[in-house]
Amino acid sequence: MDGRGRALDNIFVERLWRSVKYEEVYLKGHGSLPELLLGLTQYFGFYNTERPHQALGYETPDQVYRTAQGGGACIIDQFVHSETGPSVSAI
């Protein structure tokens, strides 16, 4: 967390892992590491190709990526001042 706005990057990872835990890990209670790895592989396939995401206008990440109409998170926009330009240095 060494730059302005960096702490906000963690929000997206926390949301992802919450979904993984509550939609896969806790529900299925995998009994072994190979079973867990297979379950996670299947879940991430589902997560990216079939599961609609509210933040993406209820499209899947694959649909957004294929059509190049998603945009993505623009956290840095929160720190831009229209009169003076960006208040953070470019990365």
Phi and psi at 24, nearest 5°, equal: -130, -65
In the chain, domain spans: 6-86
* In contact, 8 and 75? CB cutoff 8 Å: yes
Which residues have CB under 8 Å from 23's CB, separation 6+? 43
| Least-confidence region, from 15-19, 31-35, 41-45, 69-73 | 69-73
Please state whether 81 falls in left (phi above 0), alpha (psi between -120 and 50) or beta: beta
pTM of the model: 0.64
For position 57, what pLDDT does the model report? 86
